[in-house]
Amino acid sequence: MSLLCNERCSKCSHWTFTDHGLQVPLIAVIDAIHDLEKAQELCIVGGEPLVYKNRVLNLLEGIADTSVRTILITNGVACTPQFIDRVRDFNLHIIFSLDTIDPTFWKYVRGTDSYDRVMKHFHYAVNQLAPEQLSVQSVLAQETVEHVQAVGAFCRELNRFHSVQNYIQQGFEGEWTELPESLSAPVPTDRCQAAGRNLSIMPDGSVLTCFQQPLMHGCDQPLGRLGEASIISMLSSVYSSNVLNCMKTCNLPCKKLKCNQ
């Protein structure tokens, strides 16, 4: 959606960005998903996606006639009971980002005093959504090791899946500290698994193989932009093939992110 966010998390610097530019017309995104006949999942991330709650709702309605499962990653601030009630019947899985359940440490993690609001929203979601519709994701860093363990125990009590993602500095530029590899959550391979599997649609409609694609040598340009070319023509271009070949040998730190595993 965009990097705009309603929290001030210390692990990330995205919320400091002020130039969010124009957003591609939503119909272009909906059409692209319909054109990708083999698409299985759509993951909506930010920033905080629910800053644009109506846009998310319209997107879910626009692809409701497909088999695509949507994953929404949220900090929970705007994931209200009213929103849960509106989306519960869509093919949607909501992931709450919870790096701690300690109200005091929460203020350091989030940069705001949103603990009570987020936990109220989360417990409502637990009561209204099935386990396959709701889970939790935590980011593992030197600052959060004990807290992530506590979140895991909390999720087990509630019968909710808990995913752990290693913190990386590159691309997020937050205040947290990466763990040494021996203490990190396991990464299944030496190389990124996103090659030929993932696509990223940026707020302005630019299409990338992954949101860190420009970090690869010779891959700084998007595959194309929705509204200017079809998604199918982008994927069949010579440039797209070159980017894919680069991804097959890519070993950047972002391979640790769950979206690239």
For 158-174, give the DSSP string.
Answer: TT--EEEEE--STTTB-
CA distance 210 to 107: 31
pLDDT tens per residue across span 75-101:
999 999 999 999 999 999 999 999 999
Pairing of strands 224-225, 206-208: antiparallel
Residue 168 pLDDT level (bands cut at 50, 70, 90): confident
Mean pLDDT score of the chain: 90
- Give the pTM: 0.89
| End-to-end Cα distance, the chain | 22
User: Which amino acid, residue 37?
Assistant: E
User: Which amino acid, residue 156?
Assistant: R
CA distance 137 to 98: 6
CA-to-CA dists, residue 249 to 216, 240, 244, angstroms: 10, 15, 9
**Which is it for the CA torsion 144, 146, 152, 153, positive or negative?**
negative
CA-to-CA dists, residue 183 to 120, 166, 177, 219, 251, angstroms: 32, 10, 12, 32, 19
Single out the residue of 199, 226, 202 nearest to residue 210, CA to CA. 199
Average pLDDT of the residues in 9-35: 89
Question: Residue 59 contacts by C-beta under 8 Å, 6 or more apart in sequence?
Answer: 26, 29, 30, 44, 70
Inter-residue contact 95 to 139 (CB < 8 Å) = no
CA distance 129 to 168: 31
Average pLDDT of the residues in 158-165: 95
Average pLDDT of the residues in 44-51: 92
